[in-house]
Amino acid sequence: GAVVSQHPSWVICKSGTSVKIECRSLDFQATTMFWYRQFPKQSLMLMATSNEGSKATYEQGVEKDKFLINHASLTLSTLTVTSAHPEDSSFYICSVPDRYNEQFFGPGTRLTVL
């Protein structure tokens, strides 16, 4: 399987600022990565599919201009929350599918917007 890391593990920012979250596949080259959001006491909701070398695919209801995704290489995808607001406070988790399409999840990033 894939070993996945995220950075930072937590971040606190002021309302209106932008925050970048990194997802790295440490031992597997991934042409696809997934970004999930998880609100407290709720389940994981798929936000978007990150595609290396092309545009991300966003799920219905997710604003692509607010959640910018860049899949810069086969081991790195970044999610930038632009002009963050308190309602964007959440736990953001990425996953990397292996060649059998089994997803391996990162440890998550806790975003708190003040």
Which chain residues interact with other proteins by CB under 8 A? 1, 4, 6, 32, 34, 40-46, 49, 91, 93, 95, 97, 101-108, 110
Between 14 and 41, CB nearer to other proteins: 41
Classify strands 45-51 and 109-113 as parallel, antiparallel or unpaired. unpaired
Compute the distance between CA of residue 23 and CA of residue 33 in angstroms, rounded to an integer. 8
Tokens in use for 27?
Answer: 């031992």
How many CB atoms sit inside 10 A of residue 16's CB?
Answer: 10
Least distance from C-beta 2 to other proteins, angstroms?
11
Least distance from C-beta 83 to other proteins, angstroms?
26
Least distance from C-beta 44 to other proteins, angstroms?
5
Between 22 and 108, CB nearer to other proteins: 108
Least distance from C-beta 92 to other proteins, angstroms?
10
Among 18, 16, 20, residue whose Cα is nearest residue 94: 20
Between 78 and 108, CB nearer to other proteins: 108
Compute the distance between CA of residue 70 and CA of residue 78 in angstroms, rounded to an integer. 5
